């Protein structure tokens, strides 16, 4: 096993803990690496669970194999959003109260809530995994699509892998603000996406012509299903009030637009989907923060599907994933180490007429909060 494989396997194992001890270690890493700068509330309760043998035993026996640390937190959040009496827990959630209580005091109320509602939480966790439709990711998908469109004379047919409710397929219905007057999109849209720009200005024009758009997800979110969309909301971290409002605005647009998302395994569905796409269009397959949930074999198979498709059709592959996981999926271009622990590279692969070109175009902060464009 080479260095990239070891790094990728470590990520996979970390995301898929099984025993109480593994969950203890995972929650501690999650608190330090992912929560510390983004959510004090989730840092506090994650560390609390890590030191709580009773809850660790419950977690290890409850979560489904693809669930991660955020699934636990989302399940509690979902119950609060559903109006379940939290016994004071909701007072620590900034998106649920105007004057939240200090997060450092939250764990006793969190623990009491989990123990009081463990059956309902177990039912959620047995079938749910972390699922987001982070529309702020469109802040880097837009310039990536402009980048792709500049390299082909064909219109683009979008395929979003891990599409959830398909909201990112509607990128052209949103407005964008990169700061310093660098704006794009629909200034009148109820969804206005702001991101901090680092590096050079990304390309924002001319906008691509879209010939088709479809999403694939193991468990698509039906926009008319209140419980399903509530789970999307629950996966947003409580302190991120701006993300919460942005998602609700995007859901309203999505309910009117009705983006098409089909259910199933992308590795199995992509070959037929690509073959059935209009030959006058260039296919753009997008995956963002998705292949971390694939096994090593699944990542390799996914990469082979994309490579094979690129030998028969013009195919762009846009990915925002950990560099080690991209390597397992067949991206060969060197990728520099992340500038921050939670930053991920944005890569574009172009396959056409037997030629394959790879580009590392940017680095992206968590939830699309900042964009460092290279090209």
**Does one domain contain both 251 and 360?**
yes
What percent of the chain shows pLDDT beyond 90? 84
Q: Is the pLDDT of residue 5 over 50?
A: no
The band of 68, judged by pLDDT with boundaries at 50, 70 and 90, is confident
**Does one domain contain both 178 and 211?**
yes
Q: Is the pLDDT of residue 343 over 50?
A: yes
Average pLDDT in the chain: 92
Q: Is the pLDDT of residue 6 over 60?
A: no
**Does one domain contain both 157 and 112?**
no
**Does one domain contain both 315 and 364?**
yes
**How many CB atoms are closer than 10 A to CB 322?**
20
Q: Is the pLDDT of residue 87 over 50?
A: yes
The band of 128, judged by pLDDT with boundaries at 50, 70 and 90, is confident
Number of domains in the chain: 2
Q: Over the stretch 142-196, which tens digit does the pLDDT of each residue have?
A: 999 999 999 999 999 999 999 999 999 999 999 999 999 999 999 999 999 999 9
Instruction: Calculate mean pLDDT across residues 359-367.
Output: 95
**Does one domain contain both 148 and 97?**
no
Per DSSP, the three-state class of 357 is strand
**Last residue within a domain, chosen from 86, 101, 127:** 127
Residues 347 and 316: their CA atoms lie apart, in Å, by: 10
**Last residue within a domain, chosen from 127, 147, 175:** 127
Q: Is the pLDDT of residue 41 over 60?
A: yes
Instruction: Calculate mean pLDDT across residues 266-276.
Output: 95
**Sheet containing 183-185: order of strands:** 183-185, 175-177, 192-194
**Does one domain contain both 116 and 157?**
no
Q: 43-47, 73-77, 109-113, 130-134: lowest mean pLDDT where?
A: 130-134
**Does one domain contain both 156 and 284?**
yes
* Exposure letters 324-351 (e unless 16+ CB within 10 A, then b): bbbbbbbbeeebeeeeeeeebbbbbbbb
**Does one domain contain both 177 and 54?**
no
Candidates 182, 117, 121; CA nearest to 371 is 182
pLDDT at 12: 44
What domain range is 49 assigned to? 3-127
Residue 160 sits at the vertex; the CA angle it makes with 258 and 279, to the nearest 5 degrees, is 95
Q: Over the stretch 14-26, which tens digit does the pLDDT of each residue have?
A: 556 789 999 999 9
By CB atoms closer than 10 A (0-12, 13-18, 19+), residue 25 is middle
* Cβ pair 135, 250 in contact under 8 A: yes
Contacts with 244 (C-beta within 8 Å, 6 or more apart), sequence order: 95, 233, 236, 238
Query: CATH no. for residue 259?
Result: 3.40.50
Higher pLDDT, 35 or 4: 35
**Last residue within a domain, chosen from 80, 105, 127:** 127
**Does one domain contain both 58 and 164?**
no
The band of 199, judged by pLDDT with boundaries at 50, 70 and 90, is confident
pLDDT at 7: 52
Q: 17-21, 105-109, 300-304: lowest mean pLDDT where?
A: 17-21
Residues 331 and 193: their CA atoms lie apart, in Å, by: 29
Candidates 312, 327, 325; CA nearest to 358 is 327
pLDDT at 13: 47
pLDDT at 16: 63
Q: Over the stretch 309-339, which tens digit does the pLDDT of each residue have?
A: 999 999 999 999 999 999 999 999 999 999 9
Q: Which long-range contacts (CB under 8 A, 24 or more apart) does 11-17 make?
A: 11/292, 11/322, 11/324, 11/325, 12/292, 12/295, 12/296, 15/68, 15/292, 15/293, 16/65, 16/66, 16/68, 17/60
**Does one domain contain both 114 and 145?**
no
Evaluate the CA torsion angle 332, 335, 338, 342 in order and state its sign. negative
**Does one domain contain both 247 and 362?**
yes
What percent of the chain shows pLDDT beyond 70? 95
* Exposure letters 241-262 (e unless 16+ CB within 10 A, then b): eebbebbebbbebbeebebebe
**Does one domain contain both 98 and 171?**
no
């Amino acid at each position: 096993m080479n260095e990239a494989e070891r790094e990728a396997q470590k990520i996979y194992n970390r995301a898929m803990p099984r025993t109480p001890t593994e969950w203890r270690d995972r929650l501690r890493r999650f608190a330090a690496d992912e929560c510390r700068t983004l959510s004090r509330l989730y840092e506090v309760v994650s560390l609390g669970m890590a030191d709580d043998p009773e809850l660790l035993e419950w977690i290890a026996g409850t979560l489904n194999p693809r669930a991660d640390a955020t699934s636990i937190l989302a399940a509690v959040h979902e119950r609060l959003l559903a109006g379940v009496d939290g016994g004071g827990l909701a007072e620590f959630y900034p998106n649920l109260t105007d004057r939240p209580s200090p997060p450092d005091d939250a764990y006793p109320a969190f623990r009491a809530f989990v123990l009081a509602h463990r059956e309902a939480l177990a039912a959620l966790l047995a079938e749910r995994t972390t699922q987001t439709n982070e529309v702020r990711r469109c802040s880097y998908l837009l310039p990536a699509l402009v980048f792709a469109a500049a390299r082909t004379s064909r219109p683009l047919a979008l395929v979003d892998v891990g599409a959830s409710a398909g909201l990112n397929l509607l990128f052209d219905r949103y407005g964008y603000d990169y700061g310093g007057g660098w704006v794009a999109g629909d200034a009148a849209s109820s969804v206005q996406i702001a991101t901090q720009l680092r590096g050079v200005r990304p390309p924002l024009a001319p906008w691509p012509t879209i010939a088709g758009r479809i999403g694939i997800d193991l468990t698509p979110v039906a926009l008319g299903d209140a419980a399903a969309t509530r789970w999307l909301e629950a996966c947003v971290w409580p302190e991120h009030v701006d993300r919460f409002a942005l998602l609700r605005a995007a859901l309203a647009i999505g309910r009117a637009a009705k983006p098409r998302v089909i259910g199933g395994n992308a590795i199995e569905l992509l070959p037929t989907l690509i073959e059935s796409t209009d030959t006058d269009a260039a296919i753009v397959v997008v995956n963002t923060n998705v292949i971390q949930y694939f096994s090593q074999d699944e990542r390799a198979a996914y990469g082979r599907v994309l490579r094979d498709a690129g030998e028969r059709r013009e195919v762009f592959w846009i990915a925002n994933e950990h560099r080690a996981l991209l390597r397992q999926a067949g991206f060969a271009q060197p990728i520099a180490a992340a500038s921050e622990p939670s930053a991920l590279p944005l890569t574009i692969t172009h396959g056409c007429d037997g030629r394959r070109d790879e580009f590392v175009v940017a680095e992206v902060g968590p939830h699309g909060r900042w964009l460092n464009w290279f090209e």
